[in-house]
Structure formats: C-alpha cells, structure tokens
Structure 1
Amino acid sequence: MDTLEEKTLPFKIKLEAGDKRAQGMYILLKPSEEKYTAKGVTATPNQNYKIEIAVEAIYKNKRCRGKKVFNITKGTSIIRAVESMISKRNEMIAILKEKGTLKTENIKLPKVDPKDRSFKNVYQAWINVKKIDKRANTIRVYEVCYKNYLSKTFDKMLIDDITETHIQNLINEAIEKKKKPTTIKTIKVVMQPILEVNDVMLNWKKIVFPKHTGERKFKGSDDEAMKIAKALLTYEHPIMRGIFSFLLTGRRVNEVLQLKHEHINYKDNTFTILAENSKNKKEHTFKLLPILYKAIKEQKTTTGRIFPMGRDNTIYHFKKCMRSIDIHNMVMHDLRSMVGVVSLRNGADIFSVSKMLSHTNLSTTQRSYLTDGSELALKAQSTIEMLINDEKIIDVEIEDNKFLAIKKLYPNATDEQINQAISILEIN
C-alpha cells in the first residue's frame, strides 16, 4: 500500500539572535526535512525551496492579513533569500494598506466603439489603457481632472473639433476659480496624450498656463545655513535633535518619522527608506554618517520607530527652534532646499545632490554611473556634514597632504573652500 506523500508546512525562519530581518517569513518544508542547524538557525535546503511571507496592515481601521509564496532556486542561502524577500514584504504591506487585500483585482474595462470620435468615447479608451499599468493614485488624478474640467466642456464634442482656444478657455475658467497652477497643469497632462494618440495635433506653445510660484529656494548664505543647523543640532529635545539630524542630510520628515531600527544596517553602515515611506514609491539606501549614528544612539528606543514623534509636534518644535534664532518665514521642508543649495555651493555635483534628495530627476544620468547611488548621495551628505559638524569629519594621516586629500574627495571644491574646510577640521 502506497504511503501518503507528506505535505509541506510553513516553519518560521530563524536567523542569528537579534536579527529580525526574517519577520513574517516561513520556509515551506515537509515535517521530515531538516529545518534548523545545531545553532538553532534555519538550514539552507540542498534543493529548490519556497518561502511564504505573511503580512498584516491596517486598512480603513480594520486589520487585514495576506500571504504570498515565492520560489527560491537551489544554492541560494537563507540569508540571501531573506534579504531578497524584504522588498517583497514591504510591497505586500503597502498593497494591504492601499487596497485591504493582496488578491489581484479583475479590471473591468468598458468596451468602446473604435469609430466613435466623441471626446467621451476616446477618453474612455485612453483611461482603459492607463488602468493597466498606472498606479491607482495616478488614475485617480486623471479621473478627477476629467470629471471636474474636461467632461462638461468636451464630452459632446468630436475630438477633431477641439482647438487651442477651447483649451485656453478651460484654463482661464480654472484661473478665475482660483485653482492652483499644479492642478490646472493636469489639464495638459490628460488632454495632450489623448489628442495625440488620436492624431489631433495642437500647438501647445500657443496655450498659456499659469506659472507655478510655490517653489521655495533657500537664498541665505552659508553662515545663515550653519546658524540654522547649529540651532537644530543643539535643540533641547533629544528626539527632535535626532529628527533634525536626519532632516539636515536631505531626508523628508515623513521618511524620518517612519524610520525603524530594523531599517538600519550597522554592518554596512547604511539605512534604508522603504518604498512605502518615500515620495516616489521607490526604496532608497543611504550611508549612515557619524552624525546620524550619534542621533540614533541618543534615543531611548531599541525596537520599532526610532523617533516616536508625531508630525504636528515635529512642526511645533521646528517653529519653536527657528523662533529662537529670529527666523519666522521658514518651514521644515525648506531644509531640503537649504541642504541642496549649500551642498552645490561647496563642491557637491548636481548628480550627488539629486541622489541625496532622492529626486527622480536626472535618473537617466544616474543610471550611467556604476554605483548603486548610495555613493553619489554620500558625496553630498558628506559636504553638508562637513559644514555643520564640529566633530572630526575627515581623518588625514599626513598633515602636509591634507589639501590634496580633501581635493580628491571634493574635486569640484575651490581652493578657498578647501582651505576654509581645513581650518575647521581637527587633524590628529
């Protein structure tokens, strides 16, 4: 009589003591197969194997759970498999938070008549395609623009009859209603591709859009930047000092407030901003500078969020700190501008600054570099740190060659800037 084949079951993946990277991860094995080594850590199977990831998140005030199974090829160590699964786990959590389920939704796309050239019909055809590969938030922006601006004006028109004058009138009406320039700009974002894919070419240079005037650029001197930085780094509240330290290396406030101890890699001396917490929904890794290491070690937390502070309280303390140095027209996000401007002034190149600030701009240029980007960010991070930190930043072994050593690190810096930097460094 044939024996029943053993079913695979999930067994918790265990790494070395204190290593929590495998949280929510299980290896699928038969009960008779080896699970753990003598040290109590999960053994690497000598075959292809599977890892199950179980996650949970809050969606509309309800706790939601989900699981997914991933295939791992033979020869991949448990450590390497876990490291590759971390980003998958983060993606799963982000999807749960956004949709409440990991199940793939059946996309219902209304059928359209290919011969119907009415704007309503061609818009539906265009949005159907966009729903296939665009994020839900992007689709929402398109649909709001259509509902609020386009449908009332164009639905009953043939697309071939739409002219530059129609678009300009629509823009003028939005301006009269005091709509923001960025909101009005979505009219072009939606209309231009719809028209062009249907072979209707307008001269967009004839159409005038309101200029975006909300851009804030730091116009202060380096001395003023140092004054601001010193005030933030010596602020009385220890949690806020830590938050300010990260903000002064170009991080966004939400990125800092969501940073957890598990996102810090002390072995590689890096920290990671998860995709779910970054503005462009991409994961970013940065070097853990001495000033940031110190900021973390000053905190009382050892697990979970490093800086247990709410956004409103963070804003309150920032304004309080700025008032103490008689600055009343600066918001917290202006620190990113200050960091970028000061870094560029003092020798960091535009690519390094772009990477430090995790901008999507210059992405084509960034891909031409051989590094993963963290080295680029480090150049800009180190430049701003050199200006604001009183501690030993650069250790030059031979004092006579310190100028050349710093010049090698910061090739874009002028001789005057290097000499100024040397004057504030402590050389052993």
Structure 2
Amino acid sequence: MANKNQYSEKIEGIRGLKATPDFKRFRYRCKIDGQEFTKTFDYSDKEWTKRDRIRNARRAAEAFRDEKATNVTQIFSSDTKLDIIAKEYFDNACEQTEWTAHRKRQYELYIQPFIGKKPTGKIIRNDIDRIRASMEQAGRSKQNANGCSPRTIHKVLFQVLKPILVYAQENGAIDTVPAIKLPGKRQRKKTVTNGMEKLALLYHTVMKLYKNDPFYRALFLFAIQGRRWNEIRTLRWENIHFEHNYYTIEAQYNKIGEDQHYDLWHPIYEALESLEDRKGLIFKSPVTGKELHSPRKQLNRIKKASGMDNLTMHLFRHIAVTAMGENGVPGTVLSAALGHVNSATVDKHYRTINHLKGSKDATAALEKIIDVEVEE
C-alpha cells in the first residue's frame, strides 16, 4: 500500500488527483464546504493500459466527489471559514464587474488578514472593531499610509464585509450579523475651497499644456467634467456617439451596474475628433498599446504648471462638483452628472437614470465657470 508521499504524478483534468510513478495506484483529495475528503483507487491487479487506468481513476474520482457533495445538505455551516463564503459570494452572487473586482481586492487587503481563516460562526463585534482600528492606523498605499479615510473604512465595512456576512446568514452559516459600528460622526470627503477658480485654472492649464496633444487634452478634460479615472481609462471608441453628442460609461465600469450616458462636452468632442486611431480603447498606453495606467508624469506637469501640488485624478472630480455647487447647480443635477443614483440626493426626474440631461445641465454651468481670465 503506497503512502501519500508516493503519489507524485499529477493527473490532468481533475484537480487533486495524483498517481504513483507506475500509474497503478491513485489518490484523490477534495474539499467540500471546508471539509476534506480523501479516496484511493488501486488498479494494480488490472490488466489495463496506463491510459485506461487514468481514465477510470478520473471517473471514480468524479463519482466520489459528487457523492460527497450530495451528502452535504447545507451549503455553509458555522464552521465554514469566511474566505470560503467570500469566494462564493464574489464568484457567484455578484455580477462580474469592475466594482465587484474592486470590492474583492479590498476584502483581500483589509478583511482577509484578520478573519479570512476564522469560522464564520465565531466572528464577533471585536473582530470587526480590530479591522476598523487597523485601517485607521494605516492603509495599503502611499496615499493612506497614515490611515484610511472614514469614507474608505465605511466602504470596506458596509459595502464589502456586511454583504458577505448577510450572504452567510442567508445560507445558514450564522443566525445574526454582528453589529458593525463606526466611531463618531463620519467625516466629509476632501474639502475643496475656491472651487470655481481652481476648476477654471485647471481647464486653462490643460488647454495650454496639451494644445497640440489631443490625446492627453481629452483625457484630462474628461476628469475636469467629473469622470472617475476608472471610467476614463476603460472608455472605448464605440462608447463615443459623435452624431448625437453623448458618450456611454458601460455598466461594468461604473458603480451602479447600469449603462450611463453623458453629454459630450465640445472641448472633448474636438480633442477626440483629432485622434486618428479609433479602434478599441481610446486611452491606450503610447508605449505598450495596452490599457493606460495612471498618467503620473502628465499629472505632475499639470501640478507644476497650476501650482496645485495636492492634485490627484480623483481631486479633479471633487473640484468639479465644488465649482458647480458654488455656481448654484442643484444637488440633484450634480448627482446625475456624476453618475450617482441615490434616493436621498437625486429627485424623481434624475433618478430615472437621466444622467445625460443632468450632465448637459452641468456642462452649461461648467462653460460659465471656465469662461474667465486666468493670470499667467
């Protein structure tokens, strides 16, 4: 009888199935709902070819796996580790969008190290408090090295962890979801002052720096209009509708999971019209021809020219919304123009996903803001 270390030959086509070097004995190991099952198959007394032995071992392993799966009456139990439930949640309970991928990454960064291997039934309030406290002290990037913002902590706890725990509850792993609390009052996003002046300065800086470079001119004008970097970098030429003056942010690349249509602002229209390569992604890397990463070098040019040392791709969005708010644009219009669908901030007219009308109204305000002289 061979010991498990002698099963050194992996069998393709079925994970967990191995054979001895002579391919006469096989060992199969699988996990179902966190439980491990093992079975050996001995064909040393069979006058079969190597190919026949492998084929029969595969069939036997699949039958064994199916039998064990059938005997598991409950998808999850209180002993099921959170990692297993999280994987099932992200892989099968969610639409496979960029937003899902982002939440999965946040789970891996902030939640998995603390409670990923812990049985779900043993997760308590203190575990969640430890995650929150850790995020307050340090994040996982240069921008949040000294601690994550309350907004990020809220997202991780309420948009990543809580849905997983609710999913665990709905599938019998836990009876109740542990309390998730945030300390004190949530802070607002980054404060922007003098938004109108800053937006006008950014616009004129971009137009001057990239007068002869429509590629980066269009890219940063999208940011000035309030588009997120993920929305910009994933734009494809088929998303641009020149004849009707609008563009589309596809469902998989925005946070609400539905196609959104926005006003094609004329400076962007003119910049895009100047580009010759109109296949696939609009903003491909000039070096690799593939998806463009964050344009740090160009962003540094704008920082230097404008004197805005704290500028980031996302700060464009904050400046845009502050500027339009200062110009009297209603919150409902801003929400629609930015791609939000929130019953607390968007009235019935804009909540019908009429982002196009909202962005047209916002564009009109944008035109007034940038139509100012900027000191050289």
Q: TM-score range by the shorter chain?
A: 0.5 to 0.7
* Residue 376 of structure 1, CA deviation: 1.6
Q: Select the residue among 179, 194, 204 that pairs with 1:204.
A: 179
Classify 1:152/1:285 alpha carbon distance in 2 versus 1 (closer, same or farther; 3 Å): closer
Give me the whole-angstrom Cα distance separating, in 1, the residues matched to 2:139 and 2:229.
Answer: 29
* Residue 373 of structure 1, CA deviation: 2.9
* Residue 226 of structure 1, CA deviation: 1.5
In structure 2, list runs of 5 or more residues that go unmatched.
1-67, 141-147, 287-291
* Residue 351 of structure 1, CA deviation: 2.1
Instruction: Supply the AA of the counterpart residue of 1:384.
Output: L
Aligned twin of 1:220: 194
Aligned twin of 2:115: 150
Aligned twin of 1:91: none
Give me the whole-angstrom Cα distance separating, in 1, the residues matched to 2:302 and 2:107.
Answer: 42
Mapping of residues 10-89 of structure 1, within 5 Å: none
Classify 1:188/1:248 alpha carbon distance in 2 versus 1 (closer, same or farther; 3 Å): same
Give me the whole-angstrom Cα distance separating, in 2, the residues matched to 1:111 and 1:382.
Answer: 64
* Residue 162 of structure 1, CA deviation: 5.7
Q: Select the residue among 145, 168, 171 that pairs with 2:129.
A: 168
Q: Is the 8 A contact 1:234 1:241 kept in 2?
A: no
Aligned twin of 1:235: 209
Aligned twin of 2:354: 372
Q: Is the 8 A contact 2:199 2:319 kept in 1?
A: yes
| CA displacement 1:155-188 (0-9 Å, x = unmatched) | 5xxx3x7653454356556767867535566444
Classify 1:128/1:142 alpha carbon distance in 2 versus 1 (closer, same or farther; 3 Å): farther
Instruction: Supply the AA of the counterpart residue of 2:307.
Output: D
Give me the whole-angstrom Cα distance separating, in 1, the residues matched to 2:310 and 2:284.
Answer: 27
Give me the whole-angstrom Cα distance separating, in 1, the residues matched to 2:71 and 2:128.
Answer: 27
Q: Select the residue among 361, 380, 385 that pairs with 2:367.
A: 385
Q: Select the residue among 324, 335, 341 that pairs with 2:322.
A: 341
Q: Is the 8 A contact 2:336 2:354 kept in 1?
A: no
Aligned to 2:261, the other structure's residue is in SS state strand
Classify 1:202/1:269 alpha carbon distance in 2 versus 1 (closer, same or farther; 3 Å): closer
| CA displacement 1:172-208 (0-9 Å, x = unmatched) | 5676786753556644443356458767456737x44
Give me the whole-angstrom Cα distance separating, in 1, the residues matched to 2:363 and 2:70.
Answer: 50
Aligned twin of 1:291: 267
Mapping of residues 53-132 of structure 1, within 5 Å: 112-114=72-74, 118-120=78-80, 132=92
Classify 1:167/1:276 alpha carbon distance in 2 versus 1 (closer, same or farther; 3 Å): closer
Aligned to 1:285, the other structure's residue is in SS state strand
Q: Is the 8 A contact 1:242 1:292 kept in 2?
A: yes
* Residue 233 of structure 1, CA deviation: 2.0
Classify 1:232/1:258 alpha carbon distance in 2 versus 1 (closer, same or farther; 3 Å): same
In structure 1, list runs of 5 or more residues that go unmatched.
1-107, 391-422, 424-428
Higher relative contact order (CA 8 A, sep 6+): 2
Classify 1:375/1:143 alpha carbon distance in 2 versus 1 (closer, same or farther; 3 Å): closer
Mapping of residues 308-347 of structure 1, within 5 Å: 309=285, 311=292, 314-347=295-328
Classify 1:248/1:132 alpha carbon distance in 2 versus 1 (closer, same or farther; 3 Å): same
Instruction: Supply the AA of the counterpart residue of 2:217.
Output: R
Using the size of structure 1 for normalisation, the TM-score is 0.51
Task: Note if 1:282 corresponds to 2:258.
Answer: yes
Classify 1:122/1:228 alpha carbon distance in 2 versus 1 (closer, same or farther; 3 Å): closer
Aligned to 2:199, the other structure's residue is in SS state helix
Using the size of structure 2 for normalisation, the TM-score is 0.57
Aligned to 1:330, the other structure's residue is in SS state coil
Count of aligned residue pairs for this structure pair: 279
Instruction: Give me the identity figure in percent.
Output: 16
Aligned twin of 1:355: 336
Classify 1:217/1:281 alpha carbon distance in 2 versus 1 (closer, same or farther; 3 Å): farther
Aligned to 2:243, the other structure's residue is in SS state coil
Classify 1:389/1:291 alpha carbon distance in 2 versus 1 (closer, same or farther; 3 Å): farther
Aligned twin of 1:246: 222
Q: Is the 8 A contact 2:115 2:123 kept in 1?
A: no
Q: Is the 8 A contact 2:124 2:178 kept in 1?
A: no
| CA displacement 1:255-284 (0-9 Å, x = unmatched) | 334444433323322222333444554322
Aligned to 2:247, the other structure's residue is in SS state strand
